[in-house]
Amino acid sequence: DSGVTQTPKHLITATGQRVTLRCSPRSGDLSVYWYQQSLDQGLQFLIQYYNGEERAKGNILERFSAQQFPDLHSELNLSSLELGDSALYFCASSVGGVSPLYEQYFGPGTRLTVT
């Protein structure tokens, strides 16, 4: 158990809908990262937040957005869902900011299925 929690574990929804994925980082970690793992694209970095502020952006679609709240939990919002958005979405947390010096601890993931 990495100490990072993600809810829900599984989510099934229809095309065009909007969903919210939630992540609680390890106690004491200030950074939260979101990754998408799909059969087509593999594991891709989406976005990072550090202490409530966006720190880095990867291959995140405009239909997707995220935020980190004062209690440091984070939410990833996916809207206008398409079949291709079906994937495993991971949240990871680390103590520090930008540098990969700080080990990232991954949550168990949320499996999103778009039908």
Partner 1 sequence: AQTVTQSQPEMSVQEAETVTLSCTYDTSESDYYLFWYKQPPSRQMILVIRQEAYKQQNATENRFSVNFQKAAKSFSLKISDSQLGDAAMYFCASGGGADGLTFGKGTHLIIQP
> Where does this chain bind partner 1 (CB under 8 A)?
2, 33, 35, 42-48, 55-56, 58, 88, 90, 92, 98-101, 103-104, 106, 108-109
Q: From the CB of 58, what's the least distance to partner 1, in Å?
A: 5
> Are residues 45 and 55 in contact, defined by beta-carbon separation less than 8 angstroms?
no
Q: From the CB of 52, what's the least distance to partner 1, in Å?
A: 17
Cβ distance to partner 1 smaller for residue 15 or 43: 43
Query: What span, in angstroms and rounded, lies between the C-alpha atoms of 115 and 108?
Result: 22
Residue 84 half-sphere exposure toward CB, CA atoms < 13 A: 5
Q: 């550090």: which residue's tokens?
A: 50
Cβ distance to partner 1 smaller for residue 7 or 17: 7
